[in-house]
Amino acid sequence: MKRTIPNEIAKKIFFVIIPLLISAVFASCYNEDDDIPLIIEPDLWNVQLTITENKKSDSGITVYTETYNYSHFVALASCNTQQSIGTLNMSNNYETMTDQARTARTYTDEIGNEWIYTLSASNYFATHAIYRSGEQERTYDFTYTNNDQLSTITEHIDGIQFSHIKFNYIDSQNATMTIGMHGNTEVAHITYIKEPQWIVFPNYFLIEQYPLNLHRVAFYDGVLGINYHIIGSIQYEGSDEITTFAYNDNLTETTIVPQYCEQTITGNGYSDTRRVNYTLAPLYTK
């Protein structure tokens, strides 16, 4: 699905992505029959985003990898997740489909889960979704601030509201996230480290927040709005713990993805750090 990109964003993609991908090393080999070199060149508009984390567990280190393949840089063509614990490997492949009228976007995986998103005709962002897993069906409604930033997600299970999450973008430096579930409400204060920027990755750790974690593929497909804030910290009201985020130092306003994102949770003598690495590379074609 090809979405319309504002001119100023398109310019940034052109002047940043093209030099970045051209700098990739060209691979070449020789045809054994006639010794004519066969050049394998990078397809500059078909790229792969790989996200990797080494997770600690009682069983050892789990290597978790997410791979997103984009067509024309803005449309997700396929996705794969892998987990490796020693010699044990588990993977899951996701397929994507858009109807001819571009009113719906569907994702399916190998274990039978299905996500169907109804898209707005004006910007192709999701307004409604159905998620089927086994015999259970859940529905979601989405709203946006300024027509592009995700504002609310409301989840219903069997027709009954189960959870609700709301983002209030106070200014370029601050926001709040209000989460309602099981009759309880929590409020988290979010700070940003810079003015809004064109950075097309959603915060890896923020997506672990329920029910965002059930829409991970749609988030990376851009179906749930445009993300252009760099999160510096998150702290829940009434909690002594604070979560901070660190990135490589050479981030600029035209950075597409960082080299890494590191999350550290501290409070009451406790500290825990996790880190994910991002790699953006062209897909090669003969």
Identity of residue 122 = S
User: Which residues are registered as beta bridge partners of 169?
Assistant: 175
Segment holding 142, helix H or strand E:
strand 136-145
pLDDT for 224-238, tens place per residue?
Answer: 988 778 899 999 999
Helices (H), 69-134: none
What the block records as the tokens of 126 is 């999701």
pLDDT for 174-210, tens place per residue?
Answer: 999 999 998 899 999 999 987 666 556 668 899 999 9
**Mean residue pLDDT across the chain:** 82
Q: What is the pLDDT of residue 73?
A: 67
Query: Is the confidence at residue 31, as pLDDT, over 70?
Result: no
pLDDT for 134-183, tens place per residue?
Answer: 888 999 999 999 888 999 999 999 889 999 999 999 988 999 999 999 88
Look up the pTM and report it.
0.81
Q: What is the pLDDT of residue 257?
A: 84
CB 158 within 8 A of CB 204: no
CA distances 178 to 66, 165, 185, Å, are 28, 6, 7
